[in-house]
Each structure stands twice: as C-alpha cells, then as structure tokens.
Amino acid sequence: MIETDLKTKFLGQNTEYFKTVDSTNNIAKKNLQKPHGTVFVADIQTSGRGRTGKSWFSDNEDGLWMSILLKPKRDLRNIEALTPVVGLAVLRALKNISSLQFSIKWPNDIVLNSKKICGILCEGVFIQESRSIICGIGINLNQTSFDKSIAEIATSLKKETGLTYNKKKLMHELLNELELLYIDFSENGLKNILQEYKQNCITLGKEIKICQNGKESTAFAYDLTENCELLVDMDGQKKVVFSGDVSVRGIYDYV
Ligand code: BTN
C-alpha cells in the first residue's frame, strides 16, 4: 500500500481527491475552514493557473496537480519567503524518486535538462485576523508531448526517461520533505535552507533577462539575499529582484 509512504504529522493527513476541477488553488480557497496541511489534489484541471497571470496546462491526468492549505502560526514576513521552501521540497522529492539531476530556476521552477518540469504558485488569503497560504504545485510526470506553445520549454519525467511514474508516491515524498522543511522554516526562517537552495539554483552566476510589467532588462545574477531575493548586477549597479510578478529567463533560452 502506497499510503504507508506518508510519514507526516500534519501535511496531507487530510487529503481531498477530485476527478476534475477548475484549479486546485481555487478549491483550496473555497475550503479555508479545513485543517492546516490539507491537500487538494485533482486528476484534471480545466483552468490551471500559473504565476504572472499565465495559465498552466493541466487538462490531462499525466501530472501531479495539487494545492496545500497552510495556516502559519508565526508571522511570515511574506508569501515569497515560503516559495523557496516549497521549491526545495519538490526538488528533494524528485531526486528521491529518480536519480536525475534537477535544479531550481529562481524563484521556484524546477528544471530538468534545461526544461521546466514543475511550477509553484503560492497565494495568500487574508480574511480579518486569519491568514492562510495556498501552495499550488504542478509537476509534469507522464506527459509524452506538450502544447506547441510550451513544447520548447516544458518537459516531464517520462519524456526524459521513458519511464512511467506513480503520482501518489511522488506526492507523499513531497509532503514528507515539505513537512521537515516547513517546521525548520517556521522556527528558523530560511537560515538553514538557503545553502541547499543556492547549491541547486541554476540562475546564479548567469546572465539573465528580467521581465516585469511588460518591460525587459538584462542583468548578471550573482547571489541571493537572506530572504531568497535575487541579487543582480545591472549595468554596474547592484539591485535586488523580488519574486512577486517577475519572470526570469536565461538570455539565450529558458534557463
Ligand atoms: C508557474 O510556474 O507558473 C506556477 C504553476 C502552478 C501550477 C499548479 S497546478 C496545481 C495548482 N493549481 C493551479 O491552478 N495552479 C497550481
């Protein structure tokens, strides 16, 4: 039984499965009364959402489409501080189920062979005193082809290996890893997490394109701040890039 793979105390202890939804993030938003750590997972999303207002191709059963409802006790300075934690958990989980070389494209795309295999959309919901964070995670597992609009930049585990992967196994690995990282993050912030993130971050040491509000600029990415913001050199000036609505790409290709 795959159920035994889940070793968590709170993440995924309440999991709700759906055949078809518009977006698991939307379902989570409508279920804020559910316990901390509740997971919403769907076979198919008809209106999957990505960062910066993009859509996320997920109208198929080949990927893991899930959202985690978190109700942090500690004052999280911002949602952005949590996204690298989730990114690192996905990276660890993918490494656990395969022996492939994944990396993180800042802020939190997971990349395999220079193509995107996972995207993360964390959204905060603030109602009066209560704060919830919804972490939506999309991982391409068993697709053999992609819509032509993303075919150049997207990949799946199956495309890279020819093997078929078990979604539930990956979900449980991810929840196990995320719970460990989340507890550390809740107690210590990013202090213990940043080094592993940096070691796996493919953006550092690269010339990149930064796109924000329809404007594009180039810069050299040289480090991260203690809050995981990107430090860049732009025409000889040091600048901090906040993940919010920014999209970052290599100057020649996706990474
Ligand atoms: C991105 O890289 O742009 C983020 C993509 C996030 C996709 C996931 S799939 C599950 C959850 N539901 C959504 O509608 N989006 C996230």
Distance 236 CA to ligand 1 centre (A): 35
Using pLDDT thresholds of 50, 70 and 90, give the confidence band for residue 131: confident
d(CA 160, CA 151) in angstroms, rounded, equals 13
**pLDDT given for residue 1 in this prediction:** 43
Which residue's C-alpha comes closest to atom 15 of ligand 1? 49
110-126 pLDDT, tens digit per residue, is: 999 999 999 999 999 98
Distance 237 CA to ligand 1 centre (A): 33
Q: What is the CA radius of gyration of the chain?
A: 17
Decide: 140 in ligand 1 pocket, CB within 6 A: no
d(CA 66, CA 54) in angstroms, rounded, equals 17
CA dihedral 81, 90, 245, 45 (to 10 degrees): -130
Decide: 22 in ligand 1 pocket, CB within 6 A: no
Decide: 87 in ligand 1 pocket, CB within 6 A: no
**pLDDT given for residue 187 in this prediction:** 86
CA dihedral 173, 6, 143, 86 (to 10 degrees): -50
> Percent of the chain having pLDDT more than 90?
77
Decide: 83 in ligand 1 pocket, CB within 6 A: no
143-170 pLDDT, tens digit per residue, is: 999 999 999 999 999 999 999 999 999 9
Ligand 1 atom closest to Cα of residue 119: 2
Q: 15 with 31: CB under 8 angstroms?
A: no
**pLDDT given for residue 113 in this prediction:** 95
The three-state secondary structure class of 222 is: strand
Distance 120 CA to ligand 1 centre (A): 5
Which residue's C-alpha comes closest to atom 3 of ligand 1? 50
- pLDDT (average), residues 125-138: 89
Is the pLDDT at 130 greater than 70, yes or no?
Answer: yes
The three-state secondary structure class of 237 is: strand
**pLDDT given for residue 108 in this prediction:** 87
Is the pLDDT at 2 greater than 50, yes or no?
Answer: no
Decide: 50 in ligand 1 pocket, CB within 6 A: yes
Tell me, what amino acid is at 196? E
Is the pLDDT at 61 greater than 90, yes or no?
Answer: yes
**pLDDT given for residue 77 in this prediction:** 57
Ligand 1 atom closest to Cα of residue 108: 2
Decide: 116 in ligand 1 pocket, CB within 6 A: no
Ligand 1 atom closest to Cα of residue 23: 14
Using pLDDT thresholds of 50, 70 and 90, give the confidence band for residue 93: very high
Which residue's C-alpha comes closest to atom 2 of ligand 1? 119
Is the pLDDT at 3 greater than 60, yes or no?
Answer: no
Distance 225 CA to ligand 1 centre (A): 25
Is the pLDDT at 34 greater than 80, yes or no?
Answer: yes
> How high is the mean pLDDT of the chain?
92
Which residue's C-alpha comes closest to atom 7 of ligand 1? 138
Which of 20-24, 38-42, 72-76, 145-149 is predicted least confidently? Answer: 72-76
70-87 pLDDT, tens digit per residue, is: 998 766 555 668 889 999
Is the pLDDT at 46 greater than 90, yes or no?
Answer: yes
Which of 76-90, 95-109, 138-152 is predicted least confidently? Answer: 76-90
